[in-house]
Amino acid sequence: MSLETVAANRSFGGWHKRFRHHSTTLGCDMVFAIYLPPQAEHGPVPVLYWLSGLTCTDENFMQKAGAQRMAAELGIAIVAPDTSPRGEGVPDDPEGSYDFGHGAGFYVNATHAPFDKHYRMYDYVVSELPTLVEASFPVSDARAISGHSMGGHGALVIALKNPGRYRSVSAFAPIANPTDCPWGRKAFTGYLGEDETAWREWDTCALIAEAPERLPLLVDQGEADPFLEDQLRPQRLAQACERANHPLTLRMQPGYDHSYYFIASFIDEHLRHHAAALRR
């Protein structure tokens, strides 16, 4: 697959670059960003895949999280895909809402028309994008995954469904139980249809019970998050992990909300968490 350079910026001795490519999985052109630390000039480095939340693109995290300084220190590459397929011919929410369609792929493989042709972000993130990245850049197959909100949901689900593929996982304010919150129910109905039993394979709380790998989960959640009770429900995740004896570090952060101010405040700790696992 050919890569078209969209932008390149020097950052903390490394490079932040954006590329466009045609995705056969999604049936459209996609843009992703990669931060290559200075260590990548001397050999392959491990990769953290970052999944963003509703309405976001690759640019939100790369511009607002302030992750490049610590990534350069630790020698970790960061790859940030878009949150959904986009473009002419890619169906969108006919009502134009922010929580479905473009910018809201939910990291599932859609099975319900007309979204099943393009909305396969799970396959894109797990298979197509890493294959492209590992063939095109000086990175290794040592992978970690993290994300925020909808992307936190995606990171947790992807790690749980792919034992051995990721060495670590973390999340900021994840949608922990999407089968039982307004954002998740709307998205799953549109992408997966009305059969709610099919939704369970995309719900962290449902997957925890039968997870074949007990990969420790690191989750930060702001106590002042306006979506805490109705949409995110971290207590459901804590209960599921307790029942399954699955290792979870859930840190409730007083005064923090859902914004990138919150993410920037704790991103260094998450990067260190991933670096420790990626070095093993």
For the annotated catalytic residues, the residue numbers are: 149, 225, 258
Backbone angles phi and psi of 185, in degrees to 5: -65, -40
The C-alpha atoms of residue 109 and residue 122 are separated, in whole angstroms, by 6
135, containing H or E segment:
helix 129-136
Return the H-helix or E-strand segment holding 205.
Answer: helix 204-208
d(CA 223, CA 135): 41
Taking CA 201 as the corner, what is the angle to CA 272 and CA 246, rounded to the nearest 5 degrees? Answer: 45
Written as one string, the DSSP assignment of 52-81 is --TT--HHHHHHHS--HHHHHHHT-EEEEE
